[in-house]
């Protein structure tokens, strides 16, 4: 059985989340991602991260099998903060 390789962008965002949601720009030390909301769920947690450059919201699940996906609204569109 061949295991699927994780998408590189997802791996980077999960790494950023686990490192307290901070990715530094070496020139000006601006935060790339900020935590908008979080909620504990017993053995895990979910959080909403916002990309400060694009405004895209991401839903992050931090459990034994962590994952990340763009946050969608009721119409299936990506939630973007302006």
pLDDT in tens, 55-67: 999 999 988 888 9
28: CB partners within 8 A, 6+ apart: none
pLDDT attached to residue 1:
52
pLDDT over 90 percentage in the chain: 49
Per-chain mean pLDDT for the chain: 78
pTM: 0.62
Angle CA(25)–CA(27)–CA(32) in degrees, nearest 5?
20
């Amino acid at each position: 059985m061949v295991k699927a390789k994780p998408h590189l962008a997802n791996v980077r965002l999960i790494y950023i989340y686990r490192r307290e949601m901070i990715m530094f720009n070496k020139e000006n030390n601006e935060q790339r991602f900020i935590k908008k909301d979080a909620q504990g769920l017993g053995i895990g947690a979910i959080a909403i991260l916002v990309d400060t450059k694009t405004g895209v919201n991401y839903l992050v699940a931090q459990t034994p099998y962590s994952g990340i996906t763009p946050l969608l609204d009721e119409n299936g569109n990506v939630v973007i903060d302006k």
